[in-house]
Structure 1
Amino acid sequence: MAVFTKVSEEQLQSLLEKYFVGPEVRLFEGISAGIENTNYFVDVQTEAGISRWVLTLFEMVSPEELPIFVSLTQQLAAAGVPVPAALADREGKSIQTVAGKKCILVPRVSGRQLESPSEEQCHRVGQLIAELHLAAENIGEYRAVVRDQGWLENHQRALEAHLESDDAALLKSEIQFQHDQQAEWGDAPKGWIHGDLFVDNILFDHEKVSGIIDFYHACHDYWLMDLAVACNDWCYELGKGYDTERLKAFVSGYDSKRPLTAGEKAQWSSALRLAALRFWISRLISLHGGGYQSQAEQGEVFKNPDEMKEKLLAARAQVFPAITKN
């Protein structure tokens, strides 16, 4: 959510007039957190009162794929999942253009990201992820996995020149491990996943989840991968490793709403490794690949790849009885 593209007051006013009658801007402020899209807080005064919004300009999402994400979040919101969905303008259009970029306007969700999640909060988020998966089961749109085995192997070759020999060997070894594991997934359940359920993408208002945000990694993949991505963030402390009690709470929360299959339990360690591997590679790409992220006007846009490497090493060195027991 760093600021990569500057929007002028005139451009903003013209955009808002598509949504509202006589809008007056009361707040227009760039959001410095995040690394992929440009986001602004926008407060709008109309005859109905002041409303609070987030304006998102898409730096990476292709115009062809954007309608899929917009439709997905709108349908999840309609199903009762706490997802801030794009507002339609006065002509019924949800996707606009401002400053040369496709954009949407979504409600600003109250609440905050957690600094140190409790076991109870982990349990609730586990439940929520299962509820999201089940709610999305009948949504018709489809998006294939981007970070598949081919993606891993292609980036291994591209990154080798940038890595120390130990890291290059680790990367090669883990990608080969995931190649060998493909047949082991069998008929593990698949469907829509969020794909990026880090702590900063789930907001809490007191003890209640107020919003799940940033669906721009959503795709059809093994449901277990959403759980693995989340647990690698919610249940892991850098320098200390996995918090077993948080991990148990998270997994039991999910399992209480959508019971895990025996095959999923058998693949749990592999899923944690794959989740860490994908994000290690994506962070290495951002660090070594250049591109628009180096042009941010504000905000920290690069996340440390070594954090994901640490999680990868921890996942491959540990057995997880909390989920592997039937």
Structure 2
Amino acid sequence: MSVFTPLERHELEAFLAPYGLGRLKDFQGIAAGTENSNFFVSLDGGEFVLTLIERGPLQDLPFFIELLDVLHAARLAVPYALRTAAGEALRELAGKPALLQPRLLGKHVSLPNAHHCSEVGRWLARLHLATRERILERRSDRGLDWMLEEGPSLALGLDDAGVALLREALAEIAERRAALLALPRANLHADLFRDNVLFDGNQLSGVIDFYNACAGPMLYDLAIAVNDWCVEADGSLDAQRARALLAAYAALRPFTPAEAELWPTMLRVACVRFWLSRLIAAAAFAGQDVLIKDPDEYRRKLELRRQVELALPFAL
């Protein structure tokens, strides 16, 4: 189970009391996390999620809280931080920063169809439109510079084919870094995988896990989503699902010519980001009872993205 900091009932009860949400009925760890400790918490006042922040600098936590407040105000279904009676949103539990948030309805979709993908595209467009005029600045700790810095050392643990593939991708990132960073910007989720999206029936009912959120090129969010939501079992792109996602997004925010030109590159960038981060996680948590996602999944996707035939729709 991916709970890095276990909790005792008595300490959780003491933490929850200032929220005025009634008696603690039950709580359980959530196994799906890979970076933070998450718990489902059942109280007389409803169902909630408690997150203990295990990774990342403490100074970034006010950013996450403010961003989720902005998105909640824009009527996006997100797990914004609840306040205590004294107005506190960020508190401490078991020596870790802690947030209590409403538990959103719905469940994850493991085999998305074109409708699910169009819902994801529409949600991403709403996120970007809600933030692009007043971007909350946070630099990603897994951005282009991180890839260029960490990639060469991580390549040393790969076979010859993997080294060649990664070096080719890093060279492209270095060459196009300035153009990528000049693309239209907003706040990004930056981790919009299937296990971070909830559906209630056919309707997208919530998006969770904003702890990789940052400011950056909106196209990057699209590339991350397409690489997870719109792929076949072997990692190749499913054109029907990808077009549904991109068209739904473009209906709310049309793409620019620069975005259309850099789209294939951005798909590769998104592959590199998750290949490298999964290599790091696999090494850090080897032999531990922690969910580790397969780094080779994104190695295969990067290999397949060397040639991209899928174009952005309606580029203006």
TM-score normalised per structure 2: 0.94
Displacement of 1:187? 4.1
Counterparts in 2 of 1:80 and 1:218: CA distance versus 1, 3 Å: same
Question: Is the CA contact (8 Å cut-off) linking 1:4 and 1:295 kept in structure 2?
Answer: no
Write the distance in 2 (CA, Å) between the matches of 1:186 and 1:163: 28
Aligned partner of 2:29 in structure 1 is 30
Counterparts in 2 of 1:312 and 1:130: CA distance versus 1, 3 Å: same
Q: What amino acid sits opposite 2:40 in the alignment?
A: F
Aligned partner of 1:310 in structure 2 is 300
Question: Is the CA contact (8 Å cut-off) linking 1:54 and 1:106 kept in structure 2?
Answer: yes
Aligned partner of 1:69 in structure 2 is 64
Secondary structure of the residue aligned to 1:265 is: helix
Question: Is the CA contact (8 Å cut-off) linking 2:117 and 2:241 kept in structure 1?
Answer: yes
Secondary structure of the residue aligned to 1:162 is: coil
Aligned partner of 2:260 in structure 1 is 265
1:153 aligns with 2:155: no
User: Larger relative CO (CA 8 A, sep 6+): 1 or 2?
Assistant: 1
Displacement of 1:259? 0.4
Q: What amino acid sits opposite 1:17 in the alignment?
A: A
Aligned partner of 1:206 in structure 2 is 201
Aligned partner of 2:100 in structure 1 is 105
Write the distance in 2 (CA, Å) between the matches of 1:42 and 1:255: 38
Aligned partner of 1:84 in structure 2 is 79
Alignment deviations for residues 139-186 of structure 1 (CA, whole Å, 9 cap, x no partner): 453101322332112212321332212212211111011111224447
Q: What amino acid sits opposite 1:12 in the alignment?
A: L
Counterparts in 2 of 1:141 and 1:239: CA distance versus 1, 3 Å: closer
Question: Is the CA contact (8 Å cut-off) linking 1:119 and 1:250 kept in structure 2?
Answer: yes
Aligned partner of 2:4 in structure 1 is 4
Counterparts in 2 of 1:186 and 1:101: CA distance versus 1, 3 Å: closer
Among candidates 184, 189, 194, match of residue 184 of structure 2: 189
Alignment of 1:122-271 (within 5 A): 122-139=117-134, 141-185=136-180, 187-239=182-234, 241-271=236-266
Alignment of 1:31-50 (within 5 A): 31-45=30-44, 50=45
Aligned partner of 2:17 in structure 1 is 17
Write the distance in 1 (CA, Å) between the matches of 2:46 and 2:75: 21
Question: Is the CA contact (8 Å cut-off) linking 1:268 and 1:323 kept in structure 2?
Answer: no
Write the distance in 2 (CA, Å) between the matches of 1:230 and 1:239: 16
Write the distance in 2 (CA, Å) between the matches of 1:18 and 1:145: 33
Aligned partner of 1:59 in structure 2 is 54
**Which structure 1 segments of 5+ residues have no match?**
none
Write the distance in 1 (CA, Å) between the matches of 2:296 and 2:114: 26
Write the distance in 2 (CA, Å) between the matches of 1:106 and 1:302: 25
Secondary structure of the residue aligned to 1:316 is: coil
Question: Is the CA contact (8 Å cut-off) linking 2:255 and 2:314 kept in structure 1?
Answer: no
1:286 aligns with 2:285: no
Identity %: 36
Displacement of 1:2? 2.0
Question: Is the CA contact (8 Å cut-off) linking 2:254 and 2:315 kept in structure 1?
Answer: no
Alignment deviations for residues 237-289 of structure 1 (CA, whole Å, 9 cap, x no partner): 2326111100110110100000011111111111100001111010011112x
Write the distance in 2 (CA, Å) between the matches of 1:170 and 1:265: 24
**Which structure 2 segments of 5+ residues have no match?**
none
Write the distance in 1 (CA, Å) between the matches of 2:252 and 2:268: 24
Question: Is the CA contact (8 Å cut-off) linking 2:263 and 2:312 kept in structure 1?
Answer: no
Write the distance in 1 (CA, Å) between the matches of 2:179 and 2:138: 23
Write the distance in 2 (CA, Å) between the matches of 1:313 and 1:130: 28
Write the distance in 2 (CA, Å) between the matches of 1:180 and 1:294: 34
Write the distance in 2 (CA, Å) between the matches of 1:145 and 1:186: 12
TM-score normalised per structure 1: 0.92
Displacement of 1:36? 0.8
Displacement of 1:209? 1.2
Counterparts in 2 of 1:242 and 1:178: CA distance versus 1, 3 Å: same
Alignment deviations for residues 284-305 of structure 1 (CA, whole Å, 9 cap, x no partner): 11112x2xx4586x5x421000
Secondary structure of the residue aligned to 2:156 is: helix
